[in-house]
Amino acid sequence: MGNCTLIITEKPDAAQRIASALDAQGKARKMNDNGVPYYLAKRDNDLIVVPSIGHLYTVAGEEGKRNSYPVFNFKWVPRYVAEKNAKQTRKWIEVISKLASEADMFIDACDYDIEGSIIGYCILKYACNNKENVSRRMKYSTLTKEALEKSYREMLPHLDFAFIEAGMARHEVDWLYGINLSRALTIAAKNWSGQYATLSTGRVQGPTLRFIVAKEKTIKSFVPTPYWSVRAEVEINGSIFEAEYEKRIIETKREANSVINACRGKNGQIDKIDVKKFQQTPPAPFDLGALQSEAYRLFGYTPMRTSNIAQRLYLDALISYPRTSSQKLPPAIKYETILKNLNRVPEYTKLTAELLAQTELKPNEGRKEDPAHPAIYPTGNLPERTLDSAESNIWDLVVRRFMAVFGEPTLRQSMKVSINVNGHHFYLRGRQTLEEGWLRFYKPHSQTQEVLLPPMKEGQTIPIRKAISEDKFTKPSPRYNPGTLLERMEDAEIGTKATRAAIIQTLYDRNYVTDEKMTATDLGFEVFEILHNYCPTVISIKLTKELEEKMNRIQGNSEKRENVLTETVENLKLVVEKLKAKEKIIGEQLSNAVKKAKFEERTIGTCLICKKGHLVILYSRKTGKRFAGCTNYFKGTCKASYPLPQKGSVTTRDRNCHKCGWPTVQVRMKGKQSWTLCLNAKCPSKEKWRKKG
């Protein structure tokens, strides 16, 4: 082909958009070689735009044995060499190598972050025959035509090698921790029980599990303390309101009774009305962590799901690059142009018009910055395909948050009314919005409490209908959910914006935690206790944070990758020695925990027929079909059994049916929403199906 430029991108969708944006006619030709798509575009010269499919290369041990540790020697290899399920990467590497042999110029156009930089670097080095030092770099934050053309015109002269060094160090350190510790746990359990179970931990996974176990221990050891609260029902202008007593916690029943007796049959008098006005500033623009937390709060999407949806919207050029830790929106993104484009969407027309009428568009920004990308914002492009409901929700959330940051502060008013009842003070609290400000742009995602009180004046007599005492108990702090755990990881500065969601998902996949309100399982406890007893450094939040800081210093050219790796190996040698010395004890503890976890995973609930056995998911030896049966079936004392769907996955739930109280299971068919199935054939919830049948 001669005199042509090879452009490497991270994903096929990005390749298609980049090729179309850079082609002089806007019509790049799609080609296909052995199932690998690539694009031909014409500009000042011929462009070949070829995508990767994420990482084509990875870290692997040099010796190739899978059942031994410690492992300290590694190299970067094609993923198909190291991973069984990555066979398709072979043809991608072969096609890229063939195209590279025809090119005389190279451009890395992968996402501009650590992961994207490593993907591009490895392809240029290994698949393109050492072209990493002659390649240029495109840097963009959105896949819009304008942004991509600008990125091509203003290419960086070479790759960001400090970025690449930091990224490779992170991968290598994480591999060293993950492979050695996970193998130590897995091999110990297998040698003891003879059965294989996937057990893992790592540099960030260990400290994250620590948060959950520490919370669980606090909850389990929490001793509720009794206390009493008093409130009064008061009548104002014919309406009844509830007033809280001045002491929120009353420690003895005697004191609570004496307050009730003192107020019985008495009127109250308003002795003070305190009115305060306060402003609520607009929110900061979304970084990835804030978007994940907000999507969990509003829609219940796990951080991993939100990250995947945001990535799809980015590849559709609807939002900017989502893996950012920035809360800044520079004027270069052209606020006005984005708002004018969003003005075409009926739901946003009125709101965008309001913002465009302002004399100046100035966003309220947060403190966090990211050298690679701004905060997440809508590009102003409108969907070219029908978005599914989850994609629509996330896109709408990003659009409304973007508009809200340009809004005026919200003006709110609080009112505290003090009522004196025979020397005891009760309070009424009101709260209302006087000026909506930014809130109207963020609806329906903004939640404000409006408590309106009727007109009152100081000295006014208030009839007291009754005073009520309530027995209460103190409660422990709530468990983490995926949203709050993500925030905790961010606060502790462990993991990265790109990896935190995956680590939370791994804790579920390994069965270390269960439920939406994240509860540590026995297996999670056991893994944590072993790490805590035999290698506490592995779950040290301080050490993990220090390692993160070292990675950042590599990125800033003030630390050498080799030094960090040498130090990691030295630390791991000590840890692995301890684990090897205690392998039998560890193996026994883990095997018992795995066995228990597997039984719990299959246990649906107590058998309602014999009341002694457990209903578990079983498989018939004759037919291979699954059903729910009682554990006492094997003892010949109970024959309870219930059919289960044969397709899809069936998982147990801790909740009984709200209609009939029988145990339930969760059924998930591929590509469909999960649903709850009650085992009771005569359950009222199945009435409509019985009628259909």
CA distances from 33 to 8, 40, 103, 276, 391 (A): 16, 13, 16, 69, 32
* DSSP calls for 222-242: ----EEEEEEEEEEETTEEEE
Q: Which residues pair with 235 in a beta bridge?
A: 240
CA distances from 408 to 287, 396, 432 (A): 21, 20, 17
* DSSP calls for 101-140: TT-SEEEE-S-SSHHHHHHHHHIIIIITTS-TTT-EE---
Our answer to whether residue 534 is catalytic in this structure is no
What is the rounded distance in angstroms from the CA atom of residue 405 to the CA atom of residue 399? 10
**Residues in CB range of 228: below 8 A, 6 or more apart:** 249, 250, 251, 252, 253, 255, 256, 469, 470, 471, 472
Q: Which residues pair with 38 in a beta bridge?
A: 31
Nearest to residue 376, comparing CAs of 293, 272, 481?
Answer: 293
Nearest-5° angle of CA 250, CA 252, CA 253? 100
Owner of token pair 């929106």: 329
* DSSP calls for 301-320: --HHHHHHHHHHHHHTTSB-
What is the rounded distance in angstroms from the CA atom of residue 176 to the CA atom of residue 155? 35
Amino acid (1-letter code) at residue 690 = R
What is the rounded distance in angstroms from the CA atom of residue 630 to the CA atom of residue 607? 6
Q: Which of 321, 377, 442, 480 is catalytic?
A: 321
What is the rounded distance in angstroms from the CA atom of residue 551 to the CA atom of residue 247? 51
By three-state DSSP, how is residue 391 classified?
helix
Nearest to residue 352, comparing CAs of 331, 378, 374?
Answer: 378
What is the rounded distance in angstroms from the CA atom of residue 361 to the CA atom of residue 408? 11
Using a 10 angstrom Cβ sphere, with 0-12 exposed, 13-18 middle and 19 or more buried, the burial of residue 173 is: buried
Using CA atoms of 234, 238, 239, 242 in order, give the dihedral in degrees to the nearest 10: 0
Give the CA radius of gyration of the chain: 31
Q: Which residues pair with 49 in a beta bridge?
A: 7, 39
Asked if residues 426 and 268 have their Cβ atoms less than 8 Å apart, the reply is yes
Quote the tokens at residue 632: 């006492």
Q: Which positions are catalytic?
A: 321
